[in-house]
Amino acid sequence: MISTLHILYAGQALCLLLTFQTSVQSKVPVKLREIALAEARQGIAVDARSIYAIDSRAVAKYEKQSGRLIKRWQASPAHPLIHLDSGVVHEAKLYCGHSNYPALPMSSSVEIWDCESLEHIGSHDLGSNWGSCTWIDRFDDRWWGVFGHYDRFAAQNGKDNRSTVLVQFNDDWQPLAQWTFPDSLLTLFKPMSCSGGSWGPDRRLYVTGHDSAALYVLRPPASGSVLEWLATVPVDIQGQGIAWDRSEPGVLYGIKRRPRQAAVFLFPDSRQTPDKSE
C-alpha cells in the first residue's frame, strides 16, 4: 500500500527535479557575435587570446578579438591524420580527438599541438576499444572523451549508435570509468552520434549531436551507468564541436558548418558554479 509519507517523498523529489531542470533551461543564451573561420567544420577550441578552428585534416589559429588568421597546420605525409574532431586547450597545448573514420575497425588517438607555434608535438594512441573519438575535454583533473558508433556500420561491426560511450581517463590516458547515453537522446542523434561536448562552469556536461541546433545538458548518475539528461537548450549552431571559454566564464563557442563560422554565446546564469555535491 502507498502511504501518505511515500506520496510526500515522491512529491518532494518531483519538485526538486523540476526546479533543477528549470534552472538549467532558464539559461537562455545570448549570441554575442559570429566569426568567419574557414576550418570550422569539425570542432573548435579557445583560450584567453585565440580561437582554434578544427577541420578533418587541418587546424587553424585565429586572433580571438579580430578573427584574423594567425597560423594554419595541415596534415601531411609526415603527419597523415585522417579525421580530427573537437578538442580543448590545456596548459598551452591543444588536444584534439582523432579517428580513422569512416574506416573499420574504428581506432582513435589524441593529437597534440603547441598553442604558440601550432606545431604538432605529440600523439597518444587510444586503440580500438571504444569506437571513434569525437571529442575530448579536461575537467576535474581528468580527461574525458566520447567514442561514437554509427548506424551505417551496424551491419559490419554489430554496433549502432547505442554503443556510444563517455570515458573518463587519468593523466596517462588510462580509463577510469565510462557511461552510456540515454536511449531517448541517442534517438535524436541517429543515425550519427554525439559530436561535441564540453564541461560547463555549472559543472554540467553540455553535448551536441551531429547537426542539431541544440545543447543537451547531462551529468553522470549517482548510481548506474547511464548519463542523466537534464535539459535541452536551443542554440544557433549546427551540431559538431563546442567549447566553453574557461577564460570567460559563461561564454560558449560553437560552429556552423555552413557558412563556416564560429558562433559565440553568453549564458548569463552559468557564471555561478554550484557546489560539487550538487
Residues in the chain: 278
Are the CB atoms for 244 and 201 separated by under 8 Å?
yes
- Range 61-89 average pLDDT: 97
Task: Render pLDDT for 143-165 as a digit per residue (tens, 0 to 9).
Answer: 999 999 999 999 999 999 999 99
Using the predicted structure, report yes or no on whether residue 5 has a pLDDT greater than 50: no
pLDDT band with cut points at 50, 70 and 90 for residue 179: very high
Distance CA 90, CA 111 (A): 13
Q: What is the DSSP letter of 257?
A: T
pLDDT band with cut points at 50, 70 and 90 for residue 270: low
Grid coordinates of 13: 523529489
pLDDT at 271: 53
- Range 30-44 average pLDDT: 97
pLDDT at 20: 38
Percent of the chain topping pLDDT 90:
85
Using the predicted structure, report yes or no on whether residue 221 has a pLDDT greater than 70: yes
- Range 55-84 average pLDDT: 98
pLDDT at 19: 38
- Range 4-19 average pLDDT: 39
Using the predicted structure, report yes or no on whether residue 98 has a pLDDT greater than 90: yes
Q: Which CATH architecture has domain 30-270?
A: 7 Propeller (2.130)
Using the predicted structure, report yes or no on whether residue 133 has a pLDDT greater than 70: yes
Using the predicted structure, report yes or no on whether residue 175 has a pLDDT greater than 50: yes
Q: Name the nearest CA neighbour of 71 among 63, 61, 58.
A: 61
Mean pLDDT across the chain: 90
Region of poorest pLDDT, from 17-26, 129-138, 225-234: 17-26
- Range 105-116 average pLDDT: 98
| Beta strands 132-139 and 142-148, pairing class | antiparallel
Using the predicted structure, report yes or no on whether residue 278 has a pLDDT greater than 70: no
pLDDT at 269: 75
Using the predicted structure, report yes or no on whether residue 17 has a pLDDT greater than 50: no
Domain edges within the chain: 30-270
Using the predicted structure, report yes or no on whether residue 7 has a pLDDT greater than 60: no
Q: Name the nearest CA neighbour of 51 among 198, 243, 216.
A: 243
Q: What pTM was estimated for this model as a whole?
A: 0.87
Phi, psi of 4 (to 5 degrees): -60, -35
